[in-house]
A and B are shown apart, each in its own frame.
Chain A
Amino acid sequence: MSGQQGKWKEEQVLVICPGSQTTLAQLGCNELTLPSHRLPTRMFKDPDTDDYLPYHTYKRKKATAAANGGGDAAKPEDDDEFEYVEDRDSSEGAIYPIQRGRIVNIYHNTPIVLMASPQWTRGDNEIIARFIFEKTKTPALCLMHSAYAAQYGLKWLNMTVVDIGYEKMDVSCIWDSNLVAHKSLDYFTPGLEAGSNVLTKKLHGLLKDKGFTLDMCEQLKKSPLAEVLPYVATAKNCMELPDEDVAAEASAQFAVEAPRINEPTIAASSNAVDAENGIDDKVADEGVLDVANIVTSGNTREFLAKKEKEKAERAKAKHRKAQEAEAAANRPARLPNAKRKTNLFHYEETVHEDVQVPLSNGAPKPESAAPPATNGDGAAAAEPMPKVEGDAAAAPAPPAPTAETVTDVLPFAPEATSSVTERRTKRIRKDIEVGLERFLFVEREYIDQVARLIYNTIQSIPELSKRPDCWNNIVFVGNGSRLRGLKENVLQTLISHYLISPSTATMFTSELPSNMATPTGTGSQTPTGSTSGSLPLGQMPLPTTSSVNPLLQAATTASLGVPGTATADAHASHQSHAQTPTSIKLAQLPNYLQDWSKAGYEEAHFLGALVAGRLVYCVHPGNDMQDAQRLSSLSRVDYNEHGPKAIRKHCLMP
């Protein structure tokens, strides 16, 4: 058996974690690093054949004029009547094979799938196994449940993995390394969405009137500006929006801000809808939003020659911009984002266009107030922005950061020489002021849904005794959980809704757990002077005067400051509760992997897949573990013998 004797080297193991948007991949698990490759999980249908291509390809009618040449990446066909252009950034016509966690389209560009989502059905897994063994030369395949992968990454024996993805959310409870409960909102729950994409849509709903595109909202959501405010049970919608007065005071240094104070107030307590309208009006009046100054730099013809120079320029510009941005961010009284009514959002956009090169587009970098239509590029790029001219003059925003600009122009076809049609990609930065929408888009219903799913999952563990451990080790993974403040808010919500507090009813009664067989036993119990194992059935031990109730003792001695006694018991104080949760905690994350600590453990499942790669393929097991190791991956020998069905048992799945 190949898996037994000839162990593989750690550098040889290919680790792949497919997600619905991004697939993480890396060759080698010798270093527990961050994923080295991130690929969009998508394929494009070739318009002519039924094959799939990794990039968006489209047909472009070639101009018949002699002046037109072929684009570089184009594949000429039929005597230059059409050309094909690979567009590495476009997602047009993309087929995402994984929707809401579930494979809907089985064609994959990934050679080995290591991590499997719980949504994949048994049939899916078999098809994947078949695909991999038929299309690649891989000697073995280890299919691993994503919750186990996260567990391997975080090394807790008992834990609850909350995986918030793009359009799905999974909650898996692992107890003693076994999956004991799992629930999800995904493909199978149409109409219920808990992934992060639904938030982007919400944000878009709030901001689309102000010219925000979905893409802008996505970026805004990922920026530190978007935030889930702390949970406040008594406040409207359970969040306290930044107070108008504080914000106004903070920005009082700006003369333009001053009138705001006297405007109809938009205090946190007022109706959210009103608040929103209020902002809308004001924004319209003052032209706060949509201040963007788009400047293009570079000229196609001179581009190659200037490339080096530009690089330097760009670096300089970036540096300056960074400084400015920082300064701008800090200037208004250095308030944290959560306390500010508005904040500046730096939006970066990639624009592609086919440029006719003989153009009068020589406009080089006006510093501010660039008229929108000086050249074609600028106009096209400015299109999503309704107002361009209204910058420094009209905007009450701090003047410094308003004028910033195209930083990057990447020609798609670098080798094009005298060609006329050229595809160019630019990054354009805009600064946009965003109001309270950046807090409001995370609605109460969303948080409640997440919290409810966690609660329902953990409470669905059949054995009561397993629930406390799962409540005490909650881990959020998945990039959907990166949203600032989300984890904290969900935790606060769970605590305020569901936490069982220690009861005063037990204060002076015996704290000893019922010694009838109950499923509450968590192991460490308060001392029991009265284990009833030997007592006949139905006869309960009577408390004797000699056995002092430890809690009573604790309560009476606590004021004397006797160390150790009171505190220890206070913590374990409600064992007469069989109810859960009596405590809710996030699991401690490992701190020995610096890269991961810095980047966050949202992709812990990838780390776990690396660890598993080692364990499954590289480590020589002890005698007792050989079977376990053999069953954790499917080797080609076994595949040939048993077919794809063997994946049912040879895998790391529950």
Chain B
Amino acid sequence: MAQPLTTASVPTDIYGGDEVSALVLDAGYCSTRAGFAGEDVPKSVLPSFYGSIKDTNAASGSRNVFGEDYLFARPDFEIKNYMSRTESVVEDWDTAVQVWESMLLDRLQPERRQTQPSKNGLNDGADGEGDVSMEDAAISAENAENAEKPLAESPLLMTEAPWNQGKAREKAIEIAMENWGCPAFWLSRTPVCAAFAAGKASALVVDVGGANTSVTAVHDGMILKRSIQKSHVGGIWLSNQIRSMFDSSDPKIEVRPSYMIESKVPVDAGAPSQAVLRKLNYELHPSYRAYEDERLLTEYKESVVEVWRGPGRYSNPGNEDLVKTQPGRIFEMPDGSNQMWREQRFRVSEGMWDETAQLPTASEEERITKAQTVPELIRACLNAVDVDLRPNLLGNIVVTGGTSLLNGFNDRLNNELMAMYPGMRVKLHAAGLTTERRFGAWIGGSILASLGTFHQMWISKKEYDENGAGIVEKRCK
């Protein structure tokens, strides 16, 4: 069907770049996104969590499986993540390569891996001499080698967290060039991509993701390094707040994901569950339970949690009383127990804005300080940039990331900023489509890589061969 194109999916052909078959890879802590440049959503989205199955036959004693479909309850199964929770950068490179290859090479497979008749060696004429000069042999061997590399015809654009370190950046280009044989490569910072996705070269990017929230100033397509602010206020932190709330409520609410339930029975609100539980006759690794809990809490966040819109803090007198008169939201657990959530659903998210309102946390690291709340991150970010740039940045605030989809988030952010910067023009740009918010950085990368004018930017294989992995530090600033 000729589906209507969103603004984000600019046809590649009109830029004259009809030979662009670039790939875009955007790895985050919660999910990894990959797809073709020029498209409006990533074709392949996998959780960055993966399963590790004990396998005595395998050399390492275990084998890995990737994709949500594999992550179901089974014996000898552990769930891991190849990204770092605190930094949102790659932690386990070996697995990262496996995940990326399963996405880029298997699922997207830009080139059909089929040996060309000219390359399969059968058609090499036997010239009888048997004397091939060493140089020729070396060149042809190299060509043959490259031709067999899986991405020999696809440039690759990868995104990275703005605080990504030099070593990791070099590793990325090495994998692309050496393992996959990419003809060209580019590494782009997520805030820059998110700004591009919103159609801006300069913006203040507020990225509220799963593991982290970051605030970065982007000017003319470059990040301002000193402005980068980061905190762990994100989706997972919010899940922990919900856990804390469940634990402290009376009676204590137990999180039981659906894999534990055989069938549920409708019960009255607040009544204990009468579900038929599923019996597992094997030991389940706690990491699986944690993963499933997180999925359940995600559903809770989607359907119940709301952000107090302001103006002012939720803890200001009168606000909670007002909320209590309002209809609440019901949430039914997979075990059938259900109850109405009214003022609590505002309370759990308030810690993002007001550190005094946060619920008790399991560990001290989980606790956020005043400087880690969203408004303070923005303030710190703006304070780190030139005074002249601030009005422009405040007028171009790009909100992205999955957790920013919380109901009321943008209203609150707007109210907070208006209160913080009275008299300044504050304008938020948040994509309306859920996918554009969740995949903001990927979409920006997709636009960037499909631009005909971007051709001159790519780091080519030749440059890499001449300069080594260090080229990425020089070029991708």
When chains A and B are docked, how far (Å) is the Cα of A452 from the Cα of B72?
Answer: 9
Judge if A224 is at the interface, Cβ distance under 8 Å: no
Which of A12-20, A275-283, A570-578 is the interface stretch?
A: A570-578
Give the CA-CA distance A631 to B2 in the complex, in Å.
6
Within 8 A of B (CB), among A594-641: 627-628, 630-632
The residue in B3, B18, B261, B438 that gathers the most chain A C-beta atoms within 10 A of its C-beta is B3
Q: By the criterion CB–CB under 8 Å, are B1 and A628 in contact?
A: yes
- Digitize A443-455: 1 where CB-to-B-CB distance is under 8 Å, 0 elsewhere: 0000001001100
* Distance in Å: Cβ of B52 to nearest Cβ of chain A: 14
Known: A191-B65, A464-B302, A496-B263. Is A627-B109 also a contact (CB below 8 A)? no
With a cutoff of 8 Å between Cβ atoms, the chain B residues found around residue A356 in the complex are: none
Q: Does A509 contact B (CB under 8 A)?
A: yes
A393 to B309, CA, bound (A): 84
B65, chain A: closest CB distance, angstroms: 7
Q: Contacts A577-B329, A578-B303: A192 and B434 contacting too (C-beta < 8 A)? A: no
- Which residue of B109, B258, B415 is within 8 Å of A537 (Cβ)? B415
- Once bound together, how far apart are the Cα atoms of A464 and B406, in whole Å? 12
A-contacting residues, B107-152, CB 8 Å: 107-112, 114
Nearest B-chain residue to A543, judged by Cβ: B325
Complex interface: stretch among B180-188, B194-202, B333-341, B380-388? B333-341
B220 touches A (CB below 8 Å)? no
A238: interface (CB < 8 Å)? yes
Selecting from B246-254, B264-272, B356-364, the interface stretch reads B264-272
| Contact with A514, one of B1, B3, B308, B326 (Cβ below 8 angstroms) | B326
* B2 x A628 contact (CB < 8 A): yes
User: Is A139's beta carbon under 8 Å from chain B?
Assistant: no
A543 to B276, CA, bound (A): 40
A185 to B102, CA, bound (A): 15
B422 at the interface (CB under 8 A from A): no
| B263→A497 contact, CB < 8 A | yes
Q: Which residue of A lies closest to B5 (CB)?
A: A649
Assess whether B336 is in contact with A516, with CB atoms less than 8 Å apart: no
Q: Given that A537-B310, A576-B328 are contacting pairs, would A505 and B339 also be in contact in the complex, using a CB cutoff of 8 Å?
A: yes
Report yes or no: A576 in contact with B65, Cβ–Cβ below 8 A. Answer: no
Contact of B258 among A464, A498, A504, A654 (CB under 8 A): A498
Task: Tell me the dominant secondary structure on chain A's binding face.
Answer: loop
Give the chain A neighbours of B338 by CB distance below 8 A.
500-501, 503, 505
Known: A123-B111, A233-B276. Contact between A503 and B330, CB under 8 A?
A: yes
Write out, one digit per residue, whether chain B residues 1-37 have a CB within 8 A of any chain A CB (1) or not (0).
Answer: 1110000000101000010000000000000000010
- A531-542 contact mask (Cβ, 8 Å, vs B): 1 or 0: 000000111101
| Contact status of A632 and B2, CB under 8 A, knowing A501-B336, A506-B330 | yes
Interface: B473 (CB within 8 A): no
Known: A496-B263, A576-B330. A123 touches B109 (CB 8 A): yes
Q: Are B263 and A192 in contact (CB under 8 A)?
A: no
A127 at the interface (CB under 8 A from B): yes
Q: Which B residue sits closest to A579, measured CB to CB?
A: B303
Indicate if the CB atoms of B69 and A453 lie closer than 8 Å: yes
Q: From A505, which residue of chain B is reached at the shortest CB distance?
A: B269
What separation, in Å, do the CA atoms of A463 and B258 have in the docked complex?
22
A189–B69 CB distance below 8 A: yes
Inter-chain contact B11/A649, CB cutoff 8 Å: yes
Say whether A577 contacts B107, CB under 8 Å: no
Whether the pair B407, A517 counts as a contact (CB closer than 8 A) is yes
- Give the residues in chain A near B109, CB-CB below 8 Å: 121, 123
Complex CA gap A217/B108 in Å reads 36
Nearest A residue to B300 by beta-carbon distance?
A: A579
CB of A4 within 8 Å of the partner chain: no
List A contacts of B306 (CB < 8 A). 516
A116 at the interface (CB under 8 A from B): no
- Is the CB of B322 closer than 8 A to any CB of chain A? yes
Give Cα distance in the complex from A503 to B331, angstroms: 9
Tell whether, in the assembled complex, residue A124 and residue B11 are in contact, meaning their CB atoms are under 8 Å apart.
no
Q: Does A512 sit within 8 A of B, measured CB to CB?
A: yes
* Contact among B2, B13, B308 with A627 in the assembled complex (CB-CB below 8 Å): B2
Contacts A501-B332, A504-B268: A509 and B340 contacting too (C-beta < 8 A)? yes
| Total residues of chain B contacting the partner, CB 8 A | 66
Interface centre among B114, B258, B327 (most CB of A within 10 A): B327
List residues 639-654 of chain A with CB under 8 A from any CB of chain B: 642, 645, 649, 652, 654
Known: A183-B69, A496-B264. A505 touches B111 (CB 8 A): no
Would you give the 0/1 interface string for A90-127, flagging 1 where the beta carbon is closer than 8 Å to chain B? 00000000000000001000000000000001111001
Q: Would B69 and A516 count as touching, CB distance under 8 A?
A: no
Q: Which residues on the B side are within 8 Å of A33 (C-beta)?
A: none
Of B69, B264, B415, the most chain A CB neighbours within 10 A belong to B69
B107 cross-chain contacts in A, Cβ below 8 A = 121, 188
Residues of the A chain whose Cβ atoms lie less than 8 Å from the Cβ of B322: 539-540
Docked-complex contact A121 and B332, CB < 8 angstroms: no
CB neighbours (8 Å) of B407 from chain A are 516-519
Closest A residue to B72 using CB positions: A452
Question: In the complex the two chains form, what is the Cα distance from A191 to B261 in whole Å?
Answer: 24
Q: How far is the CA of A189 from the CA of B18 in the complex (A)?
A: 32
| Contact flag A576-B327 (CB < 8 Å), given A124-B112, A233-B276, A497-B261 | yes
Per-position 1/0 for B315-353, Cβ under 8 A of A:
000010011011111111010101110000000000000
**Smallest beta-carbon distance A583→chain B, Å:** 13
- Which residues of B48-77 have CB atoms within 8 Å of chain A's CB atoms? 65, 67-70, 72
**B408 close to A189 (CB less than 8 A):** no
Chain A stretch 454-507: residues in CB contact (< 8 A) with chain B:
456, 459, 462-464, 496-506
What A residues does B13 contact at CB under 8 A? 642
CB distance from B326 to the nearest CB of A (A): 5
Residues of B within 8 A of A556 (CB): none
Cα separation A95 to B311 with both chains bound (whole Å): 68
A233, closest chain B residue (CB): B263
The residue of chain A having its C-beta at the shortest distance from the C-beta of B114 within the complex is: A106
Residue A545 lies at the interface, judged by CB distance under 8 Å to chain B: no
Alpha-carbon distance A233/B336, docked complex (angstroms):
14
Kindly state whether residue B178 has any CB partner on chain A within 8 Å. Answer: no
* A653, B342: Cα distance in complex, Å: 43
Contact among A189, A519, A538 for B311, CB-based, below 8 A: A538
10 closest Cβ contacts across the A-B interface? A505-B269, A578-B303, A496-B263, A233-B263, A462-B434, A501-B266, A631-B2, A505-B340, A628-B2, A503-B330
Residues of A within 8 A of B (CB): 106, 121-124, 127, 148, 177-178, 183, 185, 188-189, 191-192, 233-234, 238, 449, 452-453, 456, 459, 462-464, 496-506, 509-514, 516-519, 537-540, 542-543, 574, 576-579, 627-628, 630-632, 642, 645, 649, 652, 654
Q: Which residues of B contact A (CB under 8 A)?
A: 1-3, 11, 13, 18, 36, 65, 67-70, 72, 102, 106-112, 114, 258, 261-264, 266, 268-270, 276, 299, 302-304, 306, 308-312, 319, 322-323, 325-332, 334, 336, 338-340, 407-408, 411, 415, 433-435, 438
CB<8 Å pairs between A and B, sample of 5: A459-B299, A505-B269, A540-B323, A574-B330, A576-B329
- Known contacts A501-B332, A578-B302; 11 further A-B pairs (Cβ under 8 A): A456-B69, A496-B263, A503-B339, A505-B269, A506-B330, A510-B327, A519-B407, A539-B322, A543-B325, A577-B330, A649-B11
